[in-house]
Amino acid sequence: MSEPAGSVKCKRLEGKVALVTAATAGIGLATAERLAQEGASVFICSRKQSNVDETVAALRGRGLQVAGCACHVGSAEQRKRLVQQCVQVYGGLDILVSNAAVNPGAGPLSETPPDVIDKILDINIKAAVLLVQEALPHLLKRPGASIVLVSSVTAFNPPEPIAMYAVSKTALLGLTKGLAAELGPQGVRVNCVAPGIVPTKFSAALVQTPELAAQQAGATALKRLGLPAEQAAAVAFLVSPDAAYVTGETLVVSGGMHSRL
């Protein structure tokens, strides 16, 4: 957990319902926590029910409004159940944060096996599109609805050995633009956050030694690695009324790393 619940004073999201995927660790957990601190009722998911139960209990123990269920976002049945349960518990849906991603293999693009490519594209891109489709009928019922896709700074310059993963994150930049243009006239904003290198279990390979961590920090203008709470703050801004005239944009939160295609 990032900060005491009382440390976030603004309540921009009171009365809102937010669904955050892959939200029991790392950036997803920090995002769920921040949105709840700002007054949202938050529904979370993860592949393991035990992780969901532990996270819900911990956040509720701090006075936050959180519920959740297990969901593998690659399963059509489980995506449908996820959205249905969120709406059943809270009565609607205002905010969708698509954070789930996988990186099952590492190495050069020219040597990436077909099964690794399939898994990355299936979860990181296809599941994101289909989750939006599942949530959209509910989002369209709520004024000020918003979607945030979580990409990565690596999307702008895919590096070995995680280039295939990074390419899938590049696709999310285009998906953000496409969805924003399509859904804007219907009142739904769509934006993207591209985190820099944040030490989490997911990014462990990039910072697993002090030398690697120092190398990654040295690539930033601020000369340090990021924090999950800093990514969560960016998401909270994009889904809040403060960003009411922002759609189709990618907010890079990387401490000044290179971020141009």
Q: Give me the residues paired with residue 69 across strands.
A: 45
State which residues form the domain around 226: 11-253
The pLDDT of residue 233 is: 98
Calculate the alpha carbon distances from 47 to 10, 44, 53, 119, 198 in Å: 31, 11, 11, 15, 21
Contact 31, 99 (CB under 8 A): yes
Residue 199 belongs to a domain: yes
Report if residue 117 sits inside a domain: yes
Token pair recorded at residue 56: 């819900």
Which range has the worst mean pLDDT, 9-13, 17-21, 53-57? 9-13
- Contact predicate 30/228, CB 8 Å: yes
In this structure, is residue 3 part of a structural domain? no
Mean pLDDT value across residues 31-39: 98
Neighbouring C-beta atoms of residue 1, cutoff 10 Å: 13
Query: pLDDT per residue over 138-192, tens digit each?
Result: 999 999 999 999 999 999 999 888 999 999 999 999 999 999 999 999 999 999 9
Whether residue 231 is contained in a domain is answered as: yes
* CATH code where residue 85 lies: 3.40.50.720
CA distance 47 to 25: 12
Confidence class for position 214, pLDDT limits 50, 70, 90: confident
Task: For residue 165, indicate whether it is catalytic.
Answer: yes
Instruction: Decide: residue 191, CB within 10 A, 0-12 exposed, 13-18 middle, 19+ buried.
Output: buried
Q: Tell me, yes or no, whether 259 lies in a domain.
A: no
In a domain? residue 1: no
Question: 93 or 261: which carries more pLDDT confidence?
Answer: 93
* Angle CA 207–210–215, to nearest 5: 65
Sign of CA dihedral 128, 130, 133, 135: negative
Cα four-point dihedral sign 28, 176, 167, 69: positive
Gap between the Cα atoms of 40 and 34, Å rounded = 9
State pLDDT tens for residues 63-82: 999 999 999 999 999 999 99
Q: How far is CA 60 from CA 32, 53, 55, in A?
A: 12, 10, 8
Number of domains in the chain: 1
User: Is residue 2 in a domain?
Assistant: no
Q: Is residue 5 part of a domain?
A: no
Q: What average pLDDT does range 241-246 have in this prediction? A: 98
Catalytic position from the list 30, 147, 165, 172? 165
